[in-house]
């Protein structure tokens, strides 16, 4: 019997990322997408190497392997709070085109796309998503549920909190701390610490909203 991976989420662009990463590393055929969030499927994610099913109802306990099929931290958290899945079943979906130091530490439920570089002694938390062409410097920590968009450059000794979103092409200099539940806008240059629960952007990056929605996990 073939092993099937259950993708928990809406089934959209991120499914394409997951399929490419799985194709690069695992010899699996069956992919089941559980569209439990009732979010629209905007683009095709057909793949000639996988048998893909999209279901609106499943018994998640019937599956041995899980992947989160959503990108925004609030959607990741909603799935876990609603379904209460066994976290031990979540696998890391990491493209083989990854440059990572053997001294770095990875959590579970992680999605990392190709052309990513992770330097020495970096810690990546659980359910973190890292998109293409991201560079992460040494001794950096990225908290649970955080999503890093394409082209982000993170220098050494940086701490990024839980449930953050870092916009496309942002640059974060050495020694910066970014708090929990914070959004950094696309193209920003972060030269000073950014607190919890804010939206900040610009060059240099500045706080523009102190009322960003917080999350519970």
Domain membership flag for residue 206: no
pLDDT over threshold 70, residue 214:
no
CA nearest neighbour of 55 among 40, 34, 70, 73:
34
69 with 134, same domain: the answer is: no
Q: Whole domain around residue 24: which residue ranges? A: 4-89
107 with 193, same domain: the answer is: yes
Given 25, 58, 89, the domain boundary residue is 89
Compute the distance between CA of residue 77 and CA of residue 163 in angstroms, rounded to an integer: 9
Domain membership flag for residue 210: no
Confidence class of residue 80 from pLDDT cuts 50, 70 and 90? very high
CA angle, 151 then 153 then 166, to 5°: 70
114 with 81, same domain: the answer is: no
**Higher pLDDT, residue 34 or 70:** 70
Domain membership flag for residue 101: yes
Domain membership flag for residue 207: no
Compute the distance between CA of residue 147 and CA of residue 171 in angstroms, rounded to an integer: 15
Domain membership flag for residue 193: yes
Compute the distance between CA of residue 150 and CA of residue 167 in angstroms, rounded to an integer: 8
Please give the mean pLDDT across all residues of the chain: 88
Domain membership flag for residue 216: no
Length of the chain: 217
Tokens of 106: 């990875």
Domain membership flag for residue 213: no
Compute the distance between CA of residue 147 and CA of residue 164 in angstroms, rounded to an integer: 6
In tens, the pLDDT along 82-113 reads 899 999 999 999 998 899 999 999 999 999 99
**How would DSSP label each residue in 83-148?**
H---GGGB--EE-SSEEE-TT-EE-SS-EE-SSEEE-TT-EE-TT-EE-TT-EE-TT-EE-TT-EE
Compute the distance between CA of residue 40 and CA of residue 89 in angstroms, rounded to an integer: 26
110 with 142, same domain: the answer is: yes
User: Phi/psi at 83 (nearest 5 deg)?
Assistant: -95, -25
189 with 115, same domain: the answer is: yes
30 with 118, same domain: the answer is: no
32 with 119, same domain: the answer is: no
47 with 131, same domain: the answer is: no
Confidence class of residue 38 from pLDDT cuts 50, 70 and 90? low
Query: In total, how many domains does the chain have?
Result: 2
31 with 68, same domain: the answer is: yes
**Residue 189's pLDDT is what?**
98
Within its chain, how far is the Cα of 64 from the centroid?
A: 21
Domain membership flag for residue 114: yes
Compute the distance between CA of residue 35 and CA of residue 53 in angstroms, rounded to an integer: 10
Cβ-Cβ contacts under 8 Å for 101 (sequence gap 6 or more):
118, 119, 120, 121, 122, 138
In tens, the pLDDT along 156-211 reads 999 999 999 999 999 999 999 999 999 999 999 999 999 999 999 999 999 998 86
43 with 121, same domain: the answer is: no
Compute the distance between CA of residue 36 and CA of residue 49 in angstroms, rounded to an integer: 24
192 with 118, same domain: the answer is: yes
Given 89, 113, 131, the domain boundary residue is 89
Lowest mean pLDDT of 33-37, 68-72, 131-135, name the range. 33-37
Lowest mean pLDDT of 10-14, 35-39, 119-123, 126-130, name the range. 35-39
Q: What CATH number is associated with residue 162?
A: 2.160.10.10
pLDDT over threshold 80, residue 39:
no
**Higher pLDDT, residue 146 or 43:** 146
151 with 114, same domain: the answer is: yes
| For residues 62-81, average pLDDT | 90
């Amino acid at each position: 019997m073939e092993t099937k991976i259950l993708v928990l989420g809406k089934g959209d662009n991120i499914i394409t990322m997951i399929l490419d990463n799985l194709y690069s590393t695992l010899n699996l055929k069956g992919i089941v997408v559980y569209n439990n969030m009732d979010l629209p499927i905007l683009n095709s994610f057909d793949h000639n190497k996988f048998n893909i099913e999209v279901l609106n109802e499943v018994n998640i306990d019937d599956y041995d392997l899980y992947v989160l099929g959503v990108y925004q931290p609030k959607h990741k958290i909603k799935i876990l709070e609603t379904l209460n899945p066994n976290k031990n079943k979540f696998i890391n979906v990491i493209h083989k085109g990854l440059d990572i130091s053997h001294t770095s530490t990875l959590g579970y439920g992680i999605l990392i796309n190709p052309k990513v570089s992770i330097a020495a002694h970096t810690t990546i938390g659980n359910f973190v998503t890292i998109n293409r062409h991201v560079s992460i410097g040494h001794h950096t920590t990225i908290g649970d549920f955080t999503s890093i968009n394409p082209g982000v450059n993170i220098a050494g000794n940086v701490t990024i909190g839980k449930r953050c979103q870092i916009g496309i092409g942002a640059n974060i200099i050495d020694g910066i701390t970014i708090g929990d539940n914070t959004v950094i806008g696309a193209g920003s240059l972060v030269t000073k610490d950014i607190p919890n629960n804010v939206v900040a952007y610009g060059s240099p990056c500045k706080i523009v909203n102190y009322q960003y929605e917080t999350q519970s996990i």
